[in-house]
C-alpha cells in the first residue's frame, strides 16, 4: 500500500490534479482512499490531499508517507517529518530542499515550454504514473472527464512530458478495483438520496454539506428530484416538511450551525408526524468553528435538539457503504414511523473519496408511499390512536379525505386541544412508535477476535481508523483487541454492547470530540462505563496509527 | 364534526366576540365556494397566532405549523403538488415579524400561492405587544412608553420587492374582501392581501371606527398595472387608506421558470427508475 501527499496553495489546481490521479489509479485496478485537508479560503494557504492506494481494500488515511508531491515549497517543509526513510519527494528543480530523498525535476520549465503554468498538475500526474510503473492507457478518458475541452490537448501533452521526466521506481501491482466506483462520502449520500425515492431536497449552503446540495441539483433533470436553495436553514427544514406533507418524500442537509437553526422544526416533524430526513455533516463547533475540518461533536446535540419529547432516530455514517445504504434506510424509516431521522456524517467522511463496489439496489429497503388511500367517508382520522402508534398518513389531494397537520397538541382529527387526557394519549401514541423501531435497530459492527481483552468503542467515521488500529494492534501485541462501532446510535442498540462489555477487561472509547459523547450516552442508557477515553478535537481525523500510539502511551493502565 | 366535508364547513372558534377575524373566516369560505374549490384540493397553511387558528376552523386540508414558518411550508407544498390550491392565512406578526425573511424571499420565488394576512397591527395571542405594523405611540405592556419604532408598510415593501399581486382589504367590508380574495386566489403567482383587522381586545387605536373613517375603495379609474402609481398609493396610510388591488402584473411563476416543474405533474407521482440510478452510478466507475 502506498501513501502520497500532494500539496500546494489554494487555486493551484491541487484538487483537479488529485481527481485525475486518483481516477487513473483506480482505473488501473488499485483501491484508493483520498482525504482532503484544505483551508477555508479560495486562494493561497496550504492545502494538501493524501492519496492512499494499494491492492487491498483501504479503510482510512495514514500519516506515514511514501511520497510527497510538492506544488509549493511549504509542502516540503510542513510534511518532511512524515516521510518514510524509503520515501521520495517529487518537486521542482528550483526548490531549496537538500534532502537526499528529493527527486528534483524541471516542472516549471516544462510548464513554460507548454505555454501554460497551470498544467503543472498534469506534468506531476505523468511523473507519478511513471514512478509507479503505470502505463498511459487511461489518460485520455480521464482527462476528458476532468478537463475542459479547450485545455485537453495541452494537459495531455503535459502528462506525457511528465512521464519522460523520471525513472520508474516501483512496478505496477494488479488490484481488482477497476470496476469499482470512486466517490466521496457526500456523493455516496446523495446517491442514496436519489435511490431512496426522495422527490425534494432543500438546503442552505454550508460546508461541509454543500456538495450534497450541488450534486443533487446537478442531477435534477435526470432524477426528477426538485432541489431548492432556501433563504435560510429554518426555511430549508420547513420546506422539506411542507413538501413531505404534500406527498414528496423530502430531505434537508446542513452542518451543525444550520442544524441549530432547524431544531424547532425538527420538533414539528415529531409532533405533526411528518416524515423527514435531516443530514448533519459535522464540523468543529461551537459557532462557526473550523468550517472545513472535521469533528464528531453534535451527537448529544442532535439527540436532544428541540424542546419537548418526541420519537426520533439518529444514524451515524461509518463509511462510503453506509453513506448510501443508510441514507436509503433513513428515508424508509422516516416514512414508516412518520418521524424525523437524522443522519450524522462529518467532513472527514463527506469529503474523503473511496473505491466502493457499485451499490446493489436489491439491498435497499424500499419506500412505499400510500398513494391512493381508500375513501373514509366521514371518519378519516389523521392521528388515529392505534395499537402501534402509527396512524394512516394520507396525502392531501390524493383522496377526498381531509388531511391535517398541527404543531399544537391535537386530537385524533388534528384539531388543537388542551385536554389533559388527550395530551397523555397523544404523547403515548407518538412515543410508542419507538417500541417497534427498536426491534429493527442494527447492532454495531464488531471487529476483532472472539477472544479479546480490550474493547474499543467508536461511532461514525472513526470506523476506518479504528478498524485499522485493531489490525495493527493484533498483529503486533499479545494483548487482544476488539471493537464495536456504532452506526445506529439513537435509540442506542445495546445487546452486543452489553455482551461484549461483560467480557472486556477494559473499554476504551475513541471519539473525535472533547467530552466523550458516545461514552456518556452509553453510561446513560446502560450504566456501562468506559475505562479510558481517546479523544481528538483539533479538527483533524485520527488515524489508525495514532490510535495505536495513543493506546500504548495513554492506555497503559490496568483496571 | 365531519372531516369529509362537501363544502367548507366552519367550526366553533376561540376568538373574542366582535373580533375582525370572523369576517375574514366567512369571506375565505365564501371566496372558496364561489370559485368552486373542493375542500380536499385546498391546503390552508398558518403559523401560530390568533389569526393562524383560521385553518383549524374551516373544513379543508390544514397545516398549522410553527410561528413565522407558514410560507416555507406552503410554498413547498405547492412545489410538491401543483394541483393543490395553497393559501397561507395568518397574522401580521407571523408574516412580517417572525417570518419576515420568508416573506421577502418568497416574493422573489413567486410560487403560485395566496397569502392572506390578518393585519391587526398587534400580537393578539400573546396578549397585546407591538407587531411590525403597530403605529407609533401605541402603548402596550412592553412598549410602556409608547411604540417608537417605525411601522412597516407591508404593501409598499411587497410592491418594491417585486410581488406581482398586492392588495389591501378591510375585514369590515366583507363583499369587497371576498372579491379581492377571489382575485388573489385566481392570480397566477404569489398574491398578498394585507387585511386590516381590528383586534377588539388589545388594539384600542385601530378600531372598526378608525378604519371605517379612513378606508376607501379603489375604483375603475385606478390603474393597478402602474407600478409608480401603486407605490404612491401604497404610501397612503394616514388619513385615507385605499383598499383594493394596489398592484398587479403578469410574472413568470416559479413553476414556469423551473424546468422540473413545468409539466405540472405532482412530485408524488414521479419515480426515478432503476436504470437511471445504475447509469448515474456508472459515472463514478
Ligand atoms: C418561536 C416562537 N416565538 C414566540 C411565540 C409566541 N407567539 C405566538 S403567536 C405570537 C404573535 C402573534 O402575532 P400575530 O402573528 O400578529 O397574530 P395575532 O395573534 O395577532 O393574530 C407570538 C409572539 C411562538 N409561538 N413561537
Ligand atoms: S385577541 Fe384580538 S385578534 Fe385575537 S381574537 Fe381577540 S380580538 Fe381577535
Ligand atoms: Mg397580529
Domain positions in chain A: 2-165, 182-363, 372-440, 445-556
Q: Measure CA B4 to chain center.
A: 25
pLDDT for position A108 = 85
Q: Which domains does chain B have, with CATH numbers?
A: 21-282 (3.40.50.970)
Q: Is the Cβ of A242 closer than 8 Å to some Cβ of chain B?
A: yes
A491 within 8 A of A433, measured Cβ to Cβ = no
Chain A environment of B266 (Cβ under 8 Å):
247-248, 397
Name the grid cell of B240.
385615507
Whose atoms come closest to the Cα of A263: which ligand?
1
* Cell numbers found for residue B76: 413547498
pLDDT higher than threshold 60 for residue A559: no
Handedness of CA A286, A289, A290, A291 (dihedral sign): positive
Q: Would you state the CATH architecture of domain A2-165? A: 3-Layer(aba) Sandwich (3.40)
**DSSP annotation string for A466-484:** HHHHHHHHHHH-SS-EEEE
Q: What count of other Cβ atoms lies within 10 Å of the Cβ of residue A377?
A: 11
pLDDT confidence of residue A9: 87
- CB proximity list for B75: less than 8 A, separation 6 or greater: A239, A242, B86, B106, B109, B111, B113, B254
Decide the pairing of beta strands A488-490 and A454-459. Answer: unpaired
pLDDT confidence of residue A558: 43
Query: pLDDT tens, A516-557?
Result: 999 999 999 999 999 999 999 999 999 999 999 999 988 654
**Angle, alpha carbons A105-A142-A189 (nearest 5°):** 115
Ligand nearest to the CA of B198: 2
Whether A176 has a pLDDT exceeding 90, the answer reads yes
Q: Is A29 left (phi over 0), alpha (psi -120 to 50) or beta?
A: left
Peptide bond connecting A78 to the previous residue in cis, omega within 30 degrees of 0: no
A353 bridge partner residues: A34, A184
The tens digit of pLDDT for each residue in A436-494 reads 999 999 999 999 999 999 999 999 999 999 999 999 999 886 779 999 999 999 999 99
pLDDT digits (tens, 9 = 90+) for A220-264: 999 999 999 999 999 999 999 999 999 999 999 999 999 999 999
pLDDT tens column, A282-295:
999 999 999 999 99
Q: Do A399 and B278 touch (CB under 8 A)?
A: no
Chain A with chain B: Cβ pairs closer than 8 A: 214
Q: Whose C-alpha lies nearest to ligand 2, atom 3?
A: B199
CATH architecture of A445-556: 3-Layer(aba) Sandwich (3.40)
Instruction: Provide the pLDDT for residue B4.
Output: 47
Smallest CA-to-CA distance from A470 within A451, A456, A459 is with: A456
**CATH 3.90.320.10 is right for the domain spanning A182-363:** no
Topology agreement, domain A2-165 and domain A182-363: no
pLDDT tens digit string along A328-340?
Answer: 999 999 999 999 9
pLDDT at A372: 67
pLDDT at residue number A374: 72
Question: What does the alpha-carbon distance between residue B88 and residue A199 come to, in Å, rounded to a whole number?
Answer: 23
Rg (CA), chain A: 26
Digits of tens for pLDDT over chain B (285 positions)?
444 455 788 788 899 999 999 999 999 999 999 999 999 999 999 999 999 999 999 999 999 999 999 999 999 999 999 999 999 999 999 999 999 999 999 999 999 999 999 999 999 999 999 999 999 999 999 999 999 999 999 999 999 999 999 999 999 999 999 999 999 999 999 999 999 999 999 999 999 999 999 999 999 999 999 999 999 999 999 999 999 999 999 999 999 999 999 999 999 999 889 999 999 999 999
Task: List, in sequence order, every residue forming a beta bridge with A51; answer none if it has no partner.
Answer: A4, A34
pLDDT band at A371 (very low <50, low <70, confident <90, very high): low
Tell whether the model's pLDDT for residue A377 goes beyond 90: no
Mean pLDDT of A200-224: 98
For a ligand 1 pocket test, name from B90, B91, B200 the mutation site with the most ligand atoms within 8 angstroms of its C-beta. Answer: B91
Q: What is the pLDDT of residues A5-24, one digit of tens each?
A: 999 988 788 899 999 999 99
Q: What is the pLDDT of residue A369?
A: 74
The mean pLDDT value for A77-104 works out to 95
**Nearest CA-CA partner of B74 in B247, B194, B170, B192:** B192
CA–CA dist A333, A277 (Å, integer): 9
Q: Averaged over A341-352, what is the pLDDT?
A: 98
Q: What is the distance between the alpha carbons of residues A68 and A80, in angstroms, rounded to a whole number?
A: 8
Residue A358 has pLDDT above 70, yes or no: yes
B143-157 residue pLDDT tens: 999 999 999 999 999
Query: What's the pLDDT at B96?
Result: 98
Taking CB atoms and an 8 Å limit, are B61 and A380 in contact across chains?
A: no
State yes or no: ipTM above 0.85. yes
Nearest-neighbour CA in chain A from B66: distance (Å): 6
**Per-residue pLDDT at A91 exceeds 80:** yes
Instruction: Indicate the helix (H) or strand (E) that contains B118.
Output: strand B114-119
CA–CA distance, A388 with A322 (Å, rounded to integer) = 28
A489 touches chain B (CB under 8 A): no
Cell numbers 495514532 correspond to A546
Residue B264 to chain A, least CA–CA distance (Å): 12
- Provide mean pLDDT across the span A27-38: 94
Cell reading at A246 = 404534500
Please give the Cα distance from B233 to B264 (Å, whole number). Answer: 36
- Give residues with Cβ within 8 angstroms of A341, minimum separation 6: A276, A277, A278, A312, A313, A314, A315, A330, A331, A333, A334
User: Among all chains, which residue has been given the C-alpha cell 516521510?
Assistant: A83
Buried b (16+ CB within 10 A) or exposed e, A264-275: bbbbbbbbbbbb
Could you count the other beta carbons within 10 Å of the beta carbon of residue A558? Answer: 6
| Chain A residues with beta carbon closer than 8 angstroms to that of B102 | 231, 234-235
pLDDT for the residue numbered A55:
97
CA distance A73 to A7: 9
- Report CA dihedral (B18, B21, B23, B29) to the nearest 10 degrees: -140
B40 CA → ligand 3 middle, Å: 28
B68 CA to centre of ligand 1 in angstroms: 8
pLDDT tens sequence across B97-151: 999 999 999 999 999 999 999 999 999 999 999 999 999 999 999 999 999 999 9
Say how many Å lie between the CA of residue B50 and the centre of ligand 2. Answer: 6
Whether residue A211 has pLDDT greater than 90:
yes
Please identify among residues 51-110 of chain B the ones whose CB lies closer than 8 Å to any CB of chain A.
Answer: 53, 56, 59-66, 69, 71-81, 83-84, 101-102, 104-105
Residue A399 preceded by cis peptide, ω within 30: no
| CA A313 and chain centroid, separation | 17
Min distance A188 CA to chain B CA atoms (Å): 9
Choose among B260, B277, B278: nearest Cβ to A226: B260
Ligand 1 centroid distance, CA of B125 (Å): 6
In percent, the amount of chain A with pLDDT more than 70 equals: 97
CB-neighbour burial class of residue B91 (10 A; exposed 0-12, middle 13-18, buried 19+): buried
Is the alpha carbon torsion for B29, B32, B33, B37 positive or negative?
A: negative
Shortest CA distance from B44: residue in chain A:
A404
User: Which H or E element spans position A178?
Assistant: none
CA atoms within 13 A on the CB side of A449: 12
Q: What angle do CA A288, A293, A294 make, to 5 degrees?
A: 105
Amino acid at each position: 500500500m502506498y501513501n502520497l501527499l500532494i500539496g500546494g496553495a489554494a487555486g493551484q489546481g491541487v484538487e483537479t490534479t488529485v481527481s485525475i490521479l486518483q481516477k487513473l489509479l483506480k482505473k488501473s485496478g488499485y483501491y484508493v482512499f483520498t482525504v482532503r485537508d484544505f483551508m477555508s479560503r479560495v486562494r493561497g494557504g496550504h492545502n494538501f490531499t493524501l492519496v492512499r492506494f494499494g491492492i487491498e481494500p483501504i479503510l482510512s488515511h495514514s500519516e506515514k508517507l511514501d511520497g510527497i508531491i510538492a506544488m509549493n515549497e511549504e509542502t516540503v517543509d510542513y510534511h518532511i517529518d512524515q516521510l518514510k526513510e524509503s520515501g521520495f519527494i517529487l518537486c521542482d528543480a528550483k526548490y531549496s530542499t537538500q534532502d537526499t530523498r528529493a527527486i528534483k525535476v524541471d516542472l516549471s520549465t516544462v510548464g513554460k515550454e507548454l505555454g501554460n503554468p497551470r498544467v503543472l498538475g498534469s506534468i506531476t500526474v505523468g511523473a507519478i504514473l511513471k514512478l509507479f510503473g503505470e502505463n498511459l492507457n487511461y489518460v485520455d478518458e480521464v482527462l476528458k472527464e476532468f478537463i475542459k475541452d479547450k485545455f485537453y490537448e495541452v494537459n495531455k501533452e503535459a502528462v506525457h512530458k511528465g512521464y519522460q521526466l523520471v525513472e520508474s521506481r516501483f512496478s505496477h501491482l494488479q488490484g481488482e478495483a477497476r470496476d469499482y466506483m470512486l466517490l466521496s462520502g457526500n456523493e455516496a449520500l446523495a446517491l442514496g438520496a436519489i435511490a431512496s425515492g426522495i422527490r425534494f431536497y432543500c438546503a442552505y449552503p454550508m460546508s461541509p454539506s454543500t456538495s450534497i446540495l450541488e450534486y443533487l441539483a446537478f442531477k435534477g433533470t435526470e432524477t426528477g428530484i426538485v432541489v431548492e436553495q432556501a433563504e435560510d436553514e429554518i426555511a430549508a427544514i420547513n420546506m422539506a416538511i411542507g413538501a413531505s406533507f404534500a406527498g414528496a418524500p423530502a430531505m434537508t442537509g446542513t452542518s451543525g450551525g444550520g442544524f441549530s437553526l432547524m431544531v424547532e422544526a425538527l420538533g414539528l416533524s415529531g409532533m405533526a408526524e411528518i416524515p423527514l430526513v435531516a443530514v448533519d455533516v459535522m464540523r468543529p463547533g461551537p459557532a462557526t468553528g473550523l468550517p472545513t475540518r472535521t469533528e464528531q461533536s453534535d451527537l448529544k446535540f442532535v439527540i436532544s435538539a428541540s424542546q419537548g419529547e418526541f420519537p426520533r432516530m439518529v444514524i451515524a455514517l461509518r463509511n462510503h457503504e453506509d453513506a448510501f445504504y443508510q441514507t436509503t434506510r433513513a428515508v424508509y424509516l422516516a416514512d414508516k414511523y412518520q418521524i424525523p431521522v437524522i443522519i450524522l456524517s462529518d467532513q472527514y467522511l463527506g469529503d474523503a473519496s473511496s473505491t466502493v463496489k457499485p451499490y446493489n439496489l436489491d439491498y435497499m429497503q424500499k419506500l412505499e408511499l400510500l398513494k391512493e388511500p381508500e375513501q373514509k367517508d366521514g371518519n378519516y382520522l389523521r392521528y388515529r390512536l392505534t395499537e402501534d402508534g402509527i396512524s394512516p398518513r394520507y396525502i392531501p389531494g390524493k383522496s377526498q379525505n381531509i388531511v391535517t397537520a398541527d404543531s399544537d397538541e391535537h386530537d385524533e382529527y388534528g384539531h388543537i386541544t388542551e385536554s389533559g387526557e388527550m395530551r397523555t394519549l397523544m404523547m403515548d401514541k407518538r412515543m410508542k412508535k419507538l417500541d417497534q423501531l427498536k426491534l429493527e435497530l442494527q447492532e454495531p459492527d464488531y471487529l476483532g477476535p472472539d477472544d479479546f481483552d480490550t474493547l474499543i468503542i467508536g461511532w461514525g467515521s472513526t470506523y476506518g481508523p479504528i478498524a485499522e488500529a485493531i489490525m495493527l494492534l493484533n498483529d503486533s501485541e499479545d494483548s487482544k483487541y476488539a471493537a464495536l462501532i456504532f452506526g445506529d446510535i439513537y435509540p442506542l442498540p445495546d445487546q452486543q454492547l452489553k455482551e461484549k462489555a461483560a467480557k472486556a477487561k477494559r473499554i476504551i472509547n475513541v471519539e473525535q470530540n472533547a467530552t466523550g459523547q458516545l461514552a456518556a450516552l452509553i453510561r446513560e442508557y446502560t450504566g456501562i462505563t468506559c475505562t479510558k477515553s481517546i479523544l481528538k478535537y483539533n479538527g483533524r481525523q485520527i488515524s489508525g496509527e495514532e490510535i495505536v500510539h495513543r493506546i500504548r502511551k495513554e492506555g497503559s493502565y490496568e483496571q | 364534526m365531519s372531516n369529509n366535508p362537501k363544502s367548507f364547513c366552519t367550526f366553533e372558534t376561540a376568538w373574542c366576540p366582535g373580533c375582525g377575524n370572523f369576517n375574514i373566516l366567512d369571506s375565505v369560505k365564501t371566496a372558496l365556494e364561489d370559485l368552486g374549490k373542493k375542500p380536499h384540493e385546498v391546503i390552508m397553511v398558518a403559523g401560530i397566532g390568533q389569526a393562524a387558528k383560521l385553518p383549524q376552523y374551516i373544513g379543508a386540508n390544514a397545516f398549522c405549523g410553527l410561528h413565522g414558518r407558514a410560507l416555507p411550508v406552503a410554498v413547498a407544498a405547492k412545489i410538491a403538488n401543483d394541483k393543490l390550491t395553497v393559501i397561507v392565512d395568518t397574522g401580521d406578526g407571523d408574516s412580517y415579524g417572525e417570518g419576515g425573511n420568508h416573506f421577502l424571499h418568497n416574493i422573489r420565488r413567486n410560487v403560485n400561492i395566496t397569502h392572506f394576512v390578518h393585519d391587526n397591527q398587534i400580537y393578539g395571542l400573546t396578549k397585546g405587544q407591538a407587531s411590525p405594523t403597530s403605529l407609533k405611540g401605541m402603548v402596550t405592556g412592553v412598549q410602556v412608553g409608547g411604540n417608537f419604532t417605525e411601522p412597516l408598510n407591508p404593501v409598499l415593501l411587497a410592491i418594491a420587492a417585486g410581488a406581482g399581486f398586492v392588495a389591501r382589504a378591510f375585514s369590515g367590508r366583507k363583499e369587497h374582501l371576498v372579491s379581492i380574495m377571489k382575485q388573489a386566489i385566481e392570480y397566477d403567482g404569489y398574491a398578498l392581501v394585507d387585511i386590516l383587522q381590528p383586534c377588539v381586545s388589545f388594539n384600542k387605536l385601530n378600531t372598526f371606527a378608525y378604519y371605517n373613517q379612513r378606508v376607501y375603495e379603489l375604483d375603475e379609474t385606478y390603474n393597478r398595472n402602474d407600478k409608480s402609481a401603486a407605490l404612491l398609493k401604497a404610501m397612503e396610510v394616514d388619513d385615507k387608506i385605499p383598499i383594493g388591488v394596489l398592484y398587479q402584473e403578469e410574472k413568470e411563476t416559479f413553476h414556469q421558470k423551473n424546468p422540473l416543474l413545468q409539466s405540472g405533474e405532482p412530485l408524488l407521482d414521479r419515480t426515478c427508475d432503476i436504470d437511471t440510478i445504475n447509469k448515474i452510478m456508472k459515472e463514478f466507475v
